Amino acid sequence: MNVKFNNRDPVYVQVIRLFKEQIARGYFEPGQEIPSRRELANQLKINPNTAQRAYKEMEEQGLVFTEGNMPSRITKDEAVLKRVREELIVEAVENFIGSIKTINVPLSEVLELVKEKYDTESGEEEGSE
């Protein structure tokens, strides 16, 4: 995982978001083992306490689970997984609407353009902030 975090949002929030993105795009599969707090801190170059905080929050949100002394895993709960995907889609659309509204374009024109551009642009990946 090669990620660049921004300096103004809490890092733990950015880590959770990263996990949600990875779940939504299928990089993390349901039930898949996740790195330990130390491994995650090392991979992402973040403070280990922050990694711990992110895991604690994700556990509370039902995104990951831990059984006994086993390594933590991504949830298998279909409802949670579906919600993550929807949440990211809605958020992306809202961001898009927010930026397109500032240039005052009629919806029909936007939709035309989206349809036209969607297939050609979809191969390109947007880097996380």
Partner 1 sequence: MIEVKNVKKKYGRKQVLKGVSFTAEKGEITCLIGINGVGKTTIMKAIMALTPIDSGEILIDGEKIRKESFEKITFIPDAITMLPQMKIVDAFTFMADFYKSWNPERAKELLQFFKLDASERISDLSKGNTAKVNLLLGLALDVDYLLMDEPFSGIDIFTREQIADVFTSHLIEDRGVVITTHEINDIEHLIDRAVLIDNGEVLKEFSVEEVRENEGKSVVDVMREVYQG
Q: At what angle do helices 11-24 and 78-101 cross, to 10 degrees?
A: 110
**Per-residue burial over 45-75, b = 16 or more CB atoms within 10 Å of its CB, e = otherwise:** ebeeebbebbbeebeeeebbbeeeeeebbbb
Of the ranges 8-16, 90-98, 110-118, 120-128, which one interacts with partner 1 (CB under 8 A)? Answer: 8-16
Query: Which 8-state DSSP code applies to residue 127?
Result: P
Q: Residue 98 Cβ, how far from partner 1 at the closest point, in Å?
A: 17
Cβ proximity to partner 1: between 7 and 108 the closer is 7
**What is the rounded CA–CA span in Å between residue 129 and residue 126?**
9
Q: Near partner 1 by CB under 8 A, which window of 4-12, 16-24, 72-80, 102-110?
A: 4-12
Regarding 10 and contact with partner 1 (CB under 8 A), the answer is yes
Token output for 24: 């939504």
Site for partner 1 in 25-84 (CB under 8 A): 38, 41-42, 45-50, 53
Beta bridge partners of 73: 33, 65
Distance of closest approach, residue 5 Cβ to partner 1, in angstroms: 6
If binding is defined by CB under 8 A, does position 116 make contact with partner 1?
no
What residues make contact with partner 1 under the rule CB under 8 A?
A: 5, 7-13, 38, 41-42, 45-50, 53
